[in-house]
Amino acid sequence: MNNIIIAILVLGIMGGVFGLILAVASKIFEVKKDPREEAVLSHLAGANCGGCGFAGCAACAAAIVSGSAPANACAPAGAENAAEIAKIMGVAAGSSEKQVAFVRCNGGTNAKKRFEYRGVQDCISATKVAAGPLDCAFGCLGFGSCVTACKFGAMSIGPNGCAVVDPEKCTNCMACAAACPRKLIVSTPAAKKVHVACNNKDKGKIAMSVCASSCIGCGLCEKECKKDAIHVIDNLAVIDYAKCINCKMCTKVCPRDAILPKATAEEKEKYKAIKKAQAEKAKAAAEANSAPNA
Amino acid sequence: MSNITSLMSIALGAILVNNFIFSQFLGCCPFLGVSKKLDTAVGMGVAVTFVMGLASAITWIVNEYILVKFDLLYMQTVVFILVIAALVQFIEMFLQKSMPSLYTALGIYLPLITTNCAVLGVALLNIQSNFNFIESVVYGITGGLGFLLAIVLFASVRERNVFADCPKCFEGFPIALVTAGLMALSFMGFSGLSVWG
């Protein structure tokens, strides 16, 4: 009995003494930390995802306070928190427009298959077997490596067998982009709704033969765009999001439905009719103008 | 009574013959975790050496003047854990204030050492081997140097391994574990030195 009491006492006293020494030491050796650091930290996402390029949220907060990272360095925290951090730091938030991931493919069932892959249901594994089961060397394989990578439940395999992003849930951490062996996923401004959903850089004929909804680089969208916001680069239409105004003209002229949101057949007909009427009107006006002169 | 020869044999034994990692398998967690880059490996090795030296000194004193006195030798493990944890915490605060450059150099490795079994191992081995104070400190520091040697050699090999042509299924950790095994085998060669006891 005595032994137990002595043991408890010795251990308790030792613990107490060490605790006291540490408490005193923490006062003596206190290093003044910038109080802003903790304030900034409270506005970060706190997931330690490393998306900002620093080793965890605390390191990111220290970098923001020291000025080596912008106030909007934390993408998952969103624009609101970036504004709060900017307030703490006394600087402008910078352009912290919300960004979301986008999958540049709408092939899925439209894409031709060379063979049926029955191996491990994972995109990277699938690409190892004869360069993947798709004819298209660029398209989404649909085995959902990105869905597994997403911690926020924002990725899913859409109805046509192609990965899609839920922009409401997406935090732009881009873990999906790292998981995609075809490098199909890019970060786009959330406010922009029109996207080219194809990444096929093959020449028109080949691109046409491998998939029913591929961009063939025909350039109709480029001609249609009033804002000079879409260009064919390397046989692929690319949208300049700084110029795009979401007018969706390009979606209506795309013969391959490769630009999202897809225009329905009715919309396309209607647009064609309007264009035709405009052209006739212009022609008539030109004739009317030229008549008096003749 | 400890003379220079016995101290030398303790040192040689701790560094080569009974290397903490390669023959006693203590401290394998940081050995595998922090050996991807040579400079971080050196940082970890230096930090472990530092803490092992200090911990041997303090735990020896605690053992001699508290545990033996109160006949509480069965509480060695728990008391040593307490001592080491408090010690590491104290060192961290002390360094942060007085030697910020060393503090940033050791960085995250210092708190990691709190739960390093090589440090607890050296404290317990000191008692088991009936070392006196000076022998304990020498054993602690040289044991740390043995850890430093092992982790630096291992990190150098791993840095080269990354560029080596290696079967896909062995890439990364598997080949690192194979490497560690081969290095442990090669360290067995030192057992022929027979300097211990």
Position A60 scores a pLDDT of 82
User: Does residue A25 belong to the interface with chain B, where contact is any CB pair within 8 Å?
Assistant: yes
Please give, one letter per residue, the 3-state secondary structure of A35-94: HHHHHHHHCCCCCCCCCCCCCCHHHHHHHHHHCCCCCCCCCCCHHHHHHHHHHHHCCCCC
User: Which residue out of B79, B91, B103, B169 would a mutagenesis test of the A interface target, given it has the greatest number of A Cβ atoms within 10 Å?
Assistant: B79
Position A294 scores a pLDDT of 47
Cβ(B49)–Cβ(B144) under 8 Å?
A: yes
Quick check: bond before B167 cis, omega within 30? no
Cβ(A79)–Cβ(A98) under 8 Å?
A: yes
All residues at 6 or more sequence positions from A253 whose CB lies less than 8 Å from its CB, including other chains: A220, A221, A223, A224, A268, A271
As a residue count, chain B comes to 197
| A248 DSSP 8-state letter | -
Q: Which residues of A touch B83 (CB under 8 A)?
A: 14, 18
pLDDT tens-digit map of B130-145? 889 999 999 999 999 9
Position B101 scores a pLDDT of 74
* pLDDT over threshold 60, residue B197: no
- CB A29 to CB B66 under 8 A? no
- Give A156's strand partners: A164
Nearest CA distance, A144 vs chain B (angstrom): 23
Q: Determine the Cα–Cα distance for residues A96 and B110; give it in Å rounded to an integer.
A: 37
Residues in A 31-90 with any Cβ partner in B closer than 8 A? 31
Q: Determine the Cα–Cα distance for residues A276 and A264; give it in Å rounded to an integer.
A: 18
Nearest CA distance, A116 vs chain B (angstrom): 25
The model's pTM is: 0.52
Interface size between A and B, measured as CB pairs under 8 A = 44
Of B75, B89, B96, the CB nearest to A11: B75
Neighbours of A269 (CB within 10 A): 12
Question: Which carries the bigger pLDDT value, residue B70 or residue B2?
Answer: B70
Cβ(A112)–Cβ(A134) under 8 Å?
A: yes
- Give A155's strand partners: A165
Q: Determine the Cα–Cα distance for residues A6 and A269; give it in Å rounded to an integer.
A: 93
- Judged by DSSP in three states, A128 sits in helix
- CB A22 to CB B75 under 8 A? no
- CB B82 to CB A15 under 8 A? yes
Position B136 scores a pLDDT of 93
- CB B82 to CB A30 under 8 A? no
All residues at 6 or more sequence positions from B67 whose CB lies less than 8 Å from its CB, including other chains: B73, B75, B76, B79
* Tokens found for residue B12: 């040689």
- Count of H-run helices and E-run strands, chain A: 11, 8
- CB A14 to CB B82 under 8 A? yes
- CB A7 to CB B75 under 8 A? yes
- CB A11 to CB B79 under 8 A? yes
All residues at 6 or more sequence positions from A57 whose CB lies less than 8 Å from its CB, including other chains: A41, A44, A45, A46, A47, A48, A74
Low-confidence residues in chain A, pLDDT < 50: 294
pLDDT tens-digit map of B152-168? 999 999 988 888 888 88
All residues at 6 or more sequence positions from B109 whose CB lies less than 8 Å from its CB, including other chains: B30, B34, B40, B43, B44, B47, B48
Q: Please, where are the H alpha helices in A91-230?
A: 123-128, 145-149, 175-179, 204-210, 220-224
All residues at 6 or more sequence positions from A110 whose CB lies less than 8 Å from its CB, including other chains: A160, A211, A212, A213
Average of per-residue pLDDT values in chain B: 85
Nearest CA distance, B27 vs chain A (angstrom): 24
Of B66, B93, B97, the CB nearest to A10: B66
Q: Determine the Cα–Cα distance for residues A120 and A114; give it in Å rounded to an integer.
A: 17
Nearest CA distance, A153 vs chain B (angstrom): 29
Residues in A 113-172 with any Cβ partner in B closer than 8 A? none
Q: Which residues of A touch B66 (CB under 8 A)?
A: 10, 14
Going by C-alpha positions, the residue among A229, A67, A63, A200 that lies closest to residue A140 is A200
Q: Please, where are the H alpha helices in chain B?
A: 4-12, 28-33, 38-62, 76-98, 100-106, 109-113, 117-128, 133-161, 173-187
> In chain B, which residues touch A (CB < 8 A)?
62, 66, 70-72, 75, 78-79, 82-83, 86, 89-90, 93-94, 96-98, 100
In whole angstroms, how large is the CA radius of gyration of chain A?
29
A261: left (phi over 0), alpha (psi -120 to 50) or beta: beta
* Tokens found for residue A104: 């540049």
The ipTM value here is 0.73
DSSP 3-state helix, strand, coil percentages of chain A (rounded to 5)?
40, 10, 50
- CB B86 to CB A22 under 8 A? yes
Position A108 scores a pLDDT of 83
Cβ(B94)–Cβ(A22) under 8 Å?
A: no
* Tokens found for residue B117: 């079994």
Nearest CA distance, A28 vs chain B (angstrom): 9
- CB A21 to CB B90 under 8 A? yes
* Residue type (1 letter), B12: L
- CB A22 to CB B72 under 8 A? no
Going by C-alpha positions, the residue among A70, A42, A32, A34 that lies closest to residue A54 is A70
User: Does residue A10 belong to the interface with chain B, where contact is any CB pair within 8 Å?
Assistant: yes
Cβ(B64)–Cβ(B127) under 8 Å?
A: no
Q: Are strands A195-196 and A163-165 parallel, antiparallel or unpaired?
A: unpaired
Q: Determine the Cα–Cα distance for residues B22 and B154; give it in Å rounded to an integer.
A: 11
User: Does residue A7 belong to the interface with chain B, where contact is any CB pair within 8 Å?
Assistant: yes
Q: Which residues of B touch A28 (CB under 8 A)?
A: 97
